[in-house]
Amino acid sequence: MLIFHGDADKLVPLAFSERAATCFSSAELIVLRGAGHMLAWGYEDTVVPITMQYINKQIVNHVLEHETSRHS
């Protein structure tokens, strides 16, 4: 799980995302400095590459797990 949160979000406290990240062992919390609640607008250059890297990592891990279990 990938969680983005802007540290300037006035609607949802950062503590909510910090708590959510502790509830899931695979969660990664990315805090964007200066970003508000609608962080996708204006932070695409940061959010998109991090998201793509995360998705690619999940795909690779899934394939490796599948291959490992297949050969066990």
Convert the pLDDT of each residue in 26-67 to its tens digit. 899 999 999 999 987 899 999 999 999 999 999 998 888 877
Structure tokens at 66: 């599948």
Q: What is the pTM of this model?
A: 0.81
How much is the CA Rg of the chain, to the nearest whole Å? 15
In total, how many domains does the chain have? Answer: 1
**For residue 36, what are the domain limits?**
2-70
pLDDT value at residue 68: 77
Report yes or no: 6 and 36 within 8 Å, Cβ to Cβ: yes
Name the region of 2 (left: φ>0; alpha: ψ -120 to 50; beta: rest): beta
